[in-house]
Structure 1
Amino acid sequence: MEEDTDSFTNRPPWSSAAAAEGGSLPPTENISLSEFETFAVERLKLLKTVETLGVSYVKGSEDYIRKLNAEISNLSFPYRAEATGDKKQQVGATEQEKRRKDHISHFILRLAYCQTEDLRRWFIQQEMDLFRHRFGELASKHKTEFLHQNELRYDTITTDEKTSLMEKLVQSTYSISGASVLEQDIYKVPFQDALDLVRMRKVFLRAGYAYIAHQDIITIVLNDYRTRLSKALALTARSLPTVQSDERLQPLLGHLSHAYVGQDYSVQKNVGKISLEQIDSLAVKSFPLCMRELHRSLREQHHLRHGGRMQYGLFLKGIGLTLDQALQFWRAEFVKGKVDADKFDKAYAYSIRHMFGKEGKRTDYTPYSCLKVILSNPPSQGDHHGCPFRHSDPELLKQKLQSYKLSQAGINQIMELVKGMHYQLACQKYFELTHNIEDAGFSLNHPNQYFAESQKLLTGGREVKKEVDSPSTGQGAPARKTSDTSQGKSGTLTESKPGNPVPAEAEMAEDLDSLFQDD
């Protein structure tokens, strides 16, 4: 049986215990490996959108809700889940399939993101934000049904109780007024289940119970959800070795935890349309900060260690440099340093041809995604690879941004994102500041995506011209905001085709590491 039509039964070992703690039972049906990967990739896209919107907008605001609902709809997940108690709601086949995908995809990503503390933390946060959004969309009666179904048997108080406690409820709960007390549900909750609200003095206490306004009950529910999901991921991690023994699943799960779900930049669309004379100018105007810094270091030192050569070389390949251009570019720069032409041809030319798939296994290697850059081995002394927002000292990063003439307010925004470990969003903010726009109009996931979107903006959507630009060392003139900001939105991202995976990143790194050796 072919791999892409092979089936996989998502049964134990991770099912019973993990699901009991996680708040729902895992799926037990057979699914194909193709569907397994497709569901996982699409949920990963959704969670990455949740992360981006959570930083870019106030959670729960109109813009946040509208954009998240649009993405949920685009990816064919349930738009609005309704709790139905004991009465089964009749739903159409399309809606039922959406719910099936929602259920299965969550458990697949549990497998992929239970492997390390950082992965678990990221997964829990995004799933909690998605849960908060969905819970907020429920009608009042369905919220109560949901609580009871999940053994959070919190009852609402009667109208008479509301009237008698109105003054105390208004004084203790800033989110309600006298007029709104009678119009909303007030939940009576054991105080130990509402310690966060008690700690913040946002709730009325009496006789061991906390009286919670309906908009605050989500705090209780989220705490319970976090506890259950955290325990479930820990149990899943203990069972993971058994799951990984399946040779069909192990590479898929490993790929998902570091997956890039955007355009495939292994296909060069602009081959030969970039001239070597343009690179200095493009580095200033259209390179992300990681590549701009690699280019600057190469020009200043006439050498890059193997990590930098891999990261920058594949990026240049992705923006359109041909093999001949790459050989000429690297040779000319290295010869300016301590490497003569003969040594370059013997020690470095083979590795560049290998990168283009002309030597060794003849694999056409793919430019690094943002996740690959962020999660790869961090740079040591003398290295220049990696993500500046992730790997640079904060003070050095500030100085670097100041040297590129960014405003202090903009630098402060970037540093806040860096502090929150939102490195890709920090780079997206850098894009907006250097291009003088308020909204990039896309979700940044790849250095080559950054370059492509910059060129679209600067050239009005046209392809890169082969006109020779004068080399520039200063800050490029910011572009005016155009009306075409819809290109590259998260809804247009494409996924790798199931059954045709990109060469494993570990194999890629191993092959190239053996070639890119330092002097």
Structure 2
Amino acid sequence: MNSGTMDFSSGRKKSLTNTQTELYRHHLQFYDQPPLENISLGEFEAFAVDRLKLLKTVENVGVSYLKGSDQYSNKLVSELKSLNFPYRPDADDRKPQTGPSEHDKRRKDHISHFILRLAYCQTEDLRRWFIQQEVDLFRHRFDELSPQQKLELLNRNNLQYATTSVKEKILLKDELLNSSYNVSGITVEEQDFYKVPFQDALDLVRARKVYLKAGYVYIPQKDIVTIVLNDFRTRLSKSLALTARSLPAVHSDERLQPLLNHLSHAYVGQDYSIQKNVGKISLDQIDSLSGKSFPLCMRQLHQSLRENHHLRHGGRMQYGLFLKGIGLSLEQALQFWRSEFIRGKVDADKFDKAYAYSVRHMFGKEGKRTDYTPYSCMKVILSNPPSQGDHHGCPFRHSDPELLKQKLQFYKVPASGISQILELVKGMHFQLACQKYFELTHNIDDANFSLNHPNQYFIESQKVLGGGKEIKREVDTAQRLQENSATKGSAATREPAADASKAEDEMTEDLDSYFQDA
């Protein structure tokens, strides 16, 4: 590495030309081979910004449309066309092109992925967000492949599962039809089935979508994406853990550290932790607000606390940080939790000794003095699932469908709306289910935002109910970058058919200006 270039070669001796030719011959890869070339610092920065723009687009489309639907796929294809990343598996470099060649797009895709690994390996939340968007992008690209291209991808990445013979398919015809096969117009004999060890397809087994026999499952080609995605996710997760080990060396480079830090902040938008109006939410408002403006996850936590006068640690953290985010001060928080716990089986002395510390800890007044931020939807959905006796988590993700139905009925959600919500939950579209809950409980047809944070839900609810403008917050320069990103990203989904790319362009302009000024 020198002052003008970044060296990705890591001392490898492989033939650069041959390796690049092989890497960039294909529309889709697992990113197992790191880049083996020098690039300029300017290109490094440009690729990083464009990759972030790509992943933000994937996220915005994913919370605006049902993943896997035709609308979702068509919108994503439309958005990707303007981003100079690969989007068509049948693209041919030999055809005349007005813009970057397919080779250039695939090179950019490959290198930019590894650049963002450096930015997003730093914390669990960052890794979770990065993996989710990369998996969604991979799934879309995989679905665009032809059956032959899918088979080639499996073979290239040592996912060489045996296809079931015609004879065996005929013998198992009834079982295959009853368990997993449901494509009209195509017979069992015409469709490829893969014979896969059951431990490699636990999600499909759990959902009873495949036929299981003698330790193997029979997966129709249309469902093999589940296996591929599990493998891709596992590889990427391990790679991020390895990348994190190199962070001390990266952080010692004064050119890269501020760049990577700003990139990693840009995804989350507002963190809802530092506000000018701390204390303006009074304790006697909480009961009323919980019924009008709390998302279902916080509403159930509040109700459980009022009924049982206690929450376990996971619930206290999730709910306590949410209340902090809507404006509850440390003094109010201590008063709130103390009064509630004392009504239960905890006396004042025990509360002060066993629980007050954790409340002060949330506000950065104890321990490492970290100013903890409220949990995003993704963190609530993907981390720390609730156990028996817990009340935290996402009701749409972690509740039994029948219990969720009863809860929605109790909160007077109309029957037609409950059916819509349960259908979204069945498709694992938990944030969309919560957004539908928002629309139904606020009596509006379109929420006009893409929901990704419980505190965002609260603020948007207050706007709809006439509770005033969005809570203003004091932010430093880094947080202002986050707020701009979130505000513009939200605006993108208000007109999902046209504005997502425009909003992401604006978001990256902020980063570009930072790069130019640095």
Tell me whether the two structures share a fold, i.e. TM-score over 0.5: yes
**Cross-structure match for 2:8:** 9
Q: Aligned-pair distance for 1:285?
A: 0.9
Measured in 2, the distance between the counterparts of 1:447 and 1:100 equals 38
**Cross-structure match for 1:91:** 99
Q: Is the 8 A contact 1:47 1:127 kept in 2?
A: no
Q: How does 1:167-246 map to 2 (within 5 A)?
A: 200-201=184-185, 243-246=243-246
Report the more deviating stretch, 435-444 or 282-291. Answer: 435-444
2:28 is the alignment partner of 1:30: no
Q: Aligned-pair distance for 1:397?
A: 1.0
Q: Is the 8 A contact 2:24 2:103 kept in 1?
A: no
TM-score, scaled to structure 1 = 0.60
Q: Is the 8 A contact 2:58 2:133 kept in 1?
A: no
- How many pairs does the alignment contain? 398
Q: Aligned-pair distance for 1:307?
A: 0.8
Q: Secondary structure at the match of 1:270?
A: coil
Q: Is the 8 A contact 2:279 2:329 kept in 1?
A: yes
2:311 is the alignment partner of 1:313: no
Q: Secondary structure at the match of 1:459?
A: coil
**Cross-structure match for 1:354:** 361
Provide, for residues 339-361 of structure 1, a one-character-per-residue CA deviation record: whole Å limited to 9, x for no partner.
22232222222222221122232
Q: Aligned-pair distance for 1:224?
A: 11
Gap change, CA 1:349 and 1:124, over 3 Å in 2: closer
Measured in 2, the distance between the counterparts of 1:330 and 1:244 equals 37
2:305 is the alignment partner of 1:298: yes
Q: How does 1:88-167 map to 2 (within 5 A)?
A: 89-91=97-99, 102=109, 104-106=111-113, 123-129=134-140
What letter matches 1:341 in structure 2? A
What letter matches 2:459 in structure 1? A
What letter matches 2:307 in structure 1? E
Q: How does 1:488-507 map to 2 (within 5 A)?
A: 489=494, 491=500
Measured in 2, the distance between the counterparts of 1:373 and 1:31 equals 39
**Cross-structure match for 1:432:** 439
Gap change, CA 1:84 and 1:68, over 3 Å in 2: closer
Instruction: Choose from 40, 59, 75 the match for 2:70.
Output: 59
Gaps of 5+ in 1: 136-142, 152-195, 207-220, 466-484, 499-519
Gap change, CA 1:487 and 1:88, over 3 Å in 2: closer
Q: CA RMSD, aligned part only?
A: 5.3
Q: Is the 8 A contact 1:52 1:443 kept in 2?
A: yes
Identity %: 54
Q: Is the 8 A contact 1:369 1:445 kept in 2?
A: yes
Q: Secondary structure at the match of 1:30?
A: strand
**Cross-structure match for 2:469:** 462
2:43 is the alignment partner of 1:44: no
Q: Is the 8 A contact 2:463 2:470 kept in 1?
A: yes
Gap change, CA 1:311 and 1:241, over 3 Å in 2: closer
Measured in 1, the distance between the counterparts of 2:281 and 2:304 equals 21
What letter matches 2:55 in structure 1? L
Provide, for residues 362-415 of structure 1, a one-character-per-residue CA deviation record: whole Å limited to 9, x for no partner.
221111111111122211122111111111111111111110011111111111
Q: Is the 8 A contact 2:25 2:103 kept in 1?
A: no
Q: Aligned-pair distance for 1:104?
A: 3.8
Q: Is the 8 A contact 1:272 1:321 kept in 2?
A: yes
Measured in 1, the distance between the counterparts of 2:343 and 2:326 equals 24
Q: Is the 8 A contact 2:380 2:393 kept in 1?
A: yes
2:385 is the alignment partner of 1:367: no
Q: Is the 8 A contact 1:428 1:444 kept in 2?
A: yes
2:339 is the alignment partner of 1:340: no
Provide, for residues 6-50 of structure 1, a one-character-per-residue CA deviation record: whole Å limited to 9, x for no partner.
956377989878767764697544376866764554332222233
Gap change, CA 1:324 and 1:44, over 3 Å in 2: same
Q: Aligned-pair distance for 1:197?
A: 12
TM-score, scaled to structure 2 = 0.60
Gap change, CA 1:37 and 1:328, over 3 Å in 2: farther
**Cross-structure match for 1:282:** 289
What letter matches 1:283 in structure 2? S
What letter matches 2:327 in structure 1? G
Q: Aligned-pair distance for 1:199?
A: 6.6
Report the more deviating stretch, 101-110 or 330-339. Answer: 101-110
Gap change, CA 1:263 and 1:36, over 3 Å in 2: farther
2:427 is the alignment partner of 1:443: no
Q: Is the 8 A contact 1:260 1:371 kept in 2?
A: no
Q: Aligned-pair distance for 1:280?
A: 0.9
What letter matches 2:377 in structure 1? C
Larger Cα-atom Rg: 1
Q: Is the 8 A contact 1:9 1:31 kept in 2?
A: no
Gap change, CA 1:48 and 1:297, over 3 Å in 2: same
Measured in 2, the distance between the counterparts of 1:117 and 1:21 equals 26
Q: Is the 8 A contact 2:59 2:133 kept in 1?
A: no
Gap change, CA 1:395 and 1:233, over 3 Å in 2: closer
Q: Is the 8 A contact 1:259 1:371 kept in 2?
A: no
What letter matches 1:9 in structure 2? F
Report the more deviating stretch, 325-334 or 227-236. Answer: 227-236
Q: Is the 8 A contact 1:243 1:249 kept in 2?
A: no
Gap change, CA 1:8 and 1:284, over 3 Å in 2: farther
Measured in 2, the distance between the counterparts of 1:323 and 1:266 equals 12
Q: Secondary structure at the match of 2:389?
A: coil
Gap change, CA 1:274 and 1:487, over 3 Å in 2: farther
What letter matches 2:291 in structure 1? V
